[in-house]
Amino acid sequence: EPEVTQTPSHQVTQMGQEVILRCVPISNHLYFYWYRQILGQKVEFLVSFYNNEISEKSEIFDDQFSVERPDGSNFTLKIRSTKLEDSAMYFCASSEFGGGSYSNQPQHFGDGTRLSIL
Amino acid sequence: GEDVEQSLFLSVREGDSSVINCTYTDSSSTYLYWYKQEPGAGLQLLTYIFSNMDMKQDQRLTVLLNKKDKHLSLRIADTQTGDSAIYFCAGGMDSSYKLIFGSGTRLLVRP
């Protein structure tokens, strides 16, 4: 069964450094997402991406964050000038369709990247 | 704003049925999902239901939706030790791309 793959599985970075988290969505999916889960807290939506632009973002997704689809297969989340509170599990997801009444298709998640900021 | 709530912990004996409950606040939730997370792993989609349905069955899994009470449940029949995991309820709406997750219910299956 096709799956979303994320690399690396664990990333350790010094505070203030930039980090790029990578994802390969399922090949025929058109909508891409990033979520994060801080330890002990709920999974939170960060951003959705379709047709090479952001379709929706949460208030968490400020100027520190950016997303990109640099080629036909990868989807990346860049975090600039990382802070201690950016430490979390970051999940990438993809879906065939997104939004819209009853046309929505489920979001399929990767195994996540655990980001530790020191 | 939207919120999804779940009980935190459930313990059952192997072979019994498990029922994991979820409540949501936003009546415009169009679709509701159940995800499973095993230790060290990602979020595995188990099943989902649209708000125009009351029930969905998929092998050992039965999802019940009570729209009046905004209550969703996941029943796992003949629970096995391999079902031990955290189960997340998540809701989505027509007007948004995001999913709103509950805190997750940790299911422990005792032999």
- Across the range B11-28, mean pLDDT stands at 91
Of A4, A98, A109, the CB nearest to B97: A98
Chain B hits for A111, CB-CB cut-off 8 Å, are 41-42
* End-to-end Cα distance, chain B: 41
* End-to-end Cα distance, chain A: 37
Tell me the nearest-neighbour CA distance from A15 into chain B, angstroms. 24
Name the pLDDT band for A99 (thresholds 50, 70, 90): low
Chain B hits for A42, CB-CB cut-off 8 Å, are 101-104
- Across the range A81-106, mean pLDDT stands at 82
Q: How many Cβ atoms sit within 10 Å of the Cβ of residue B27?
A: 10
- Across the range B4-8, mean pLDDT stands at 91
With an 8 Å Cβ cutoff, are B101 and A42 in contact? Answer: yes
Residue B28 has pLDDT above 80, yes or no: no
Tell me the nearest-neighbour CA distance from A28 into chain B, angstroms. 18
Average pLDDT value for chain A:
91
Residue A100 has pLDDT above 60, yes or no: no
- Across the range B7-17, mean pLDDT stands at 96
With an 8 Å Cβ cutoff, are B30 and A43 in contact? Answer: no
A15, A84 contact by CB (below 8 A)? yes
Of B42, B50, B100, the CB nearest to A110: B42
The pLDDT score that the predictor gives to residue B50 is 86
The pLDDT score that the predictor gives to residue A102 is 46
For residue B46, give both structure tokens: 């188990």
Residue B11 has pLDDT above 90, yes or no: yes
* CA–CA distance, B40 with B16 (Å, rounded to integer): 26
Of B90, B92, B102, the CB nearest to A104: B92
Output the DSSP codes for A68-107. Answer: E--SSS-EEEEE-S--GGG-EEEEEEEESS-SSTTT----
For A6-65, the pLDDT digits (tens) are 999 999 999 999 999 999 999 989 899 999 999 989 999 999 999 899 999 999 999 999
Q: How many residues does chain A have?
A: 118
Q: What are phi and psi of B83, to 5 degrees?
A: -85, -10
Give the percent of chain B with pLDDT over 90: 68
- Across the range B37-53, mean pLDDT stands at 89
| Residues ≥6 apart with Cβ < 8 Å to A59 | none
CA distances from B94 to A87, A100, A105, B56 (A): 31, 5, 12, 20
The pLDDT score that the predictor gives to residue A98 is 67
Specify which residues A77 forms β-bridges with.
Answer: A21, A67
Chain A hits for B97, CB-CB cut-off 8 Å, are 31, 33, 48, 50, 55-56, 98-99
Tell me the nearest-neighbour CA distance from B68 into chain A, angstroms. 19
Q: What are phi and psi of B16, to 5 degrees?
A: -80, 170
With an 8 Å Cβ cutoff, are A101 and B33 in contact? Answer: no
Nearest CA-CA partner of B54 in B40, B69, B37:
B69
Of A48, A100, A108, the CB nearest to B98: A48
With an 8 Å Cβ cutoff, are A44 and B101 in contact? Answer: yes
- Across the range B2-14, mean pLDDT stands at 92
Nearest CA-CA partner of A55 in B29, B98, B101, B26:
B98
